[in-house]
């Protein structure tokens, strides 16, 4: 038998990923429906479904009602095939907490909670993860969010200093033997907001968070992809060259950042959140921004009462996507 070429092998793997992702987004489908969505032939979709059914990654559901011919089989991705732990640490060296959610292979939330982060040490953080992994043994992937700059899995800087300089992805993989990815809090949050409220939008979308401490966080999604920047520094808007930016009234501080983002990436929408932000602030922000930017170029400003759900959704969806790519292609 002639061995498959690398290209042919990769095509087969790509077909599996394509069918699995389509099935997750559709909820359930027949071979013909999957062929229509993926562009693959019905025969190829059938072969992929047979393969995935053997491992129980895909479940065969009820037969379609017959319309004169042989009834079609309906399939669904198995939500219990594995699960993902999404977890983030928030706060500073003064006070912090750990927020988590456990999600199915199709992204559904199975459980969630939060715990105090004391003492503020790596051991505390790892012990909390260990207890969650023990409680939910089906977890195969772990997504971590941190309030800092994360470069290739290593924390460059962090509001919680115990993480600074830590190769957090490597340490967690070695300790727990699961797939791990870590990223900046605002990148995850911006992506979660994009997926829940702007999915399919190709124009830039941004998310600004104003905490109690004197700084600002920002994440950006362009054409459905997080903008990380050349050195993972994109979104560090507290470094914009405005004198005493953090000492300005909140409305002036935020307006300067919104004007800067509008002039540089021209976002269609900017989501705003944080304890110092309210919906009543938006008209004032638009008035300040209009002094510098014509109205037709200003983004829509959307108030988000809490970043929690956006943050967790961003971690979950990105971790699921990257874990599936890791399993399929070893990347």
DSSP3 helix / strand / coil % (the chain, rounded to 5): 40, 25, 35
Lookup: tokens for 269: 């929408």
Q: Are strands 83-91 and 96-104 parallel, antiparallel or unpaired?
A: antiparallel
What token pair was written down for 190? 């911006």
Residue 7 has a pLDDT of 76
Question: What's the rounded Cα separation, in Å, for the pair 309 and 60?
Answer: 32
Tokens 């809090």 found at: 185
Q: Does this chain's domain 6-77 share its CATH topology with 200-303?
A: no
Identify the CATH assignment for 6-77 out of 3.40.50.2300, 3.40.1280.10, 1.10.10.10, 3.30.200.20. 1.10.10.10
Residue 2: pLDDT band (50, 70, 90) is very low
Distance between CA 129 and CA 91 in Å, rounded? 18
Q: In this model, does residue 44 exceed pLDDT 80?
A: yes
For the domain bounded by 83-187+309-329, which CATH number is listed?
Answer: 3.30.420.40
Q: What is the 3-state secondary structure (H, E, C) of 24-75?
A: HHHCCECHHHHHHHHCCCHHHHHHHHHHHHHCCCEEEEEECCCCCCCCCEEE
Q: Which fold has domain 200-303?
A: Nucleotidyltransferase; domain 5 (3.30.420)
50-90 confidence digits (pLDDT tens): 999 999 999 999 877 666 667 889 999 999 999 999 999 99
What pLDDT does residue 68 have? 60
Mean pLDDT for the stretch of residues 247-275: 97
pLDDT for 263 beyond 90: yes
Whole-Å CA distances, 51 to 2, 24, 30, 55, 62: 21, 16, 15, 7, 18
Domain residue extents for the chain: 6-77, 83-187+309-329, 200-303
Quote the percentage of the chain above a pLDDT of 70: 96
């Amino acid at each position: 038998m002639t061995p498959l070429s690398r290209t042919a092998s990769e095509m087969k793997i790509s077909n599996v990923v394509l069918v699995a992702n389509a099935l997750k987004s559709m909820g359930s489908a027949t071979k013909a429906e999957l062929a229509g969505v993926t562009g693959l032939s019905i025969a190829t979709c059938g072969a992929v479904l047979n393969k995935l059914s053997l491992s129980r990654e895909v479940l065969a559901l009820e037969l379609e009602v017959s319309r004169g011919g042989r009834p079609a089989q309906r399939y669904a991705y198995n939500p219990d095939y594995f699960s993902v732990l999404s977890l983030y640490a928030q706060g500073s060296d003064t006070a912090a907490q750990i927020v988590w959610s456990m999600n199915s292979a199709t992204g559904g939330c199975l459980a969630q909670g939060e715990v105090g982060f004391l003492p503020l040490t790596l051991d505390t953080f790892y012990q909390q993860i260990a207890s969650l992994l023990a409680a939910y043994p089906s977890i195969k992937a772990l997504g971590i969010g941190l309030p800092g700059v994360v470069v290739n899995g290593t924390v460059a800087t962090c509001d919680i200093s115990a993480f600074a300089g830590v190769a957090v992805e490597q340490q967690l993989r070695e300790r727990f033997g699961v797939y791990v990815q870590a990223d900046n809090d605002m990148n995850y949050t911006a992506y979660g907001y994009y997926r829940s409220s702007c999915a399919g939008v190709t124009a830039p979308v941004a998310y600004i968070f104003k905490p109690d401490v004197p700084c600002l966080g920002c994440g950006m999604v362009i054409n459905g992809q997080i903008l990380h920047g050349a050195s993972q520094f994109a979104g560090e808007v507290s470094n914009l060259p405005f004198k005493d930016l953090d000492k300005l009234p909140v409305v002036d501080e935020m307006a300067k950042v919104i004007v800067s983002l509008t002039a540089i990436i021209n976002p269609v929408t900017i989501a705003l959140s944080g304890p110092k932000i309210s919906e009543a602030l938006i008209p004032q922000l638009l008035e300040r921004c209009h002094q510098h930017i014509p109205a037709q170029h200003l983004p829509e400003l959307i108030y988000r009462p809490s970043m929690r759900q956006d943050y967790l959704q961003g971690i979950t969806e990105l971790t699921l996507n990257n874990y599936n790519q890791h399993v399929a292609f070893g990347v």
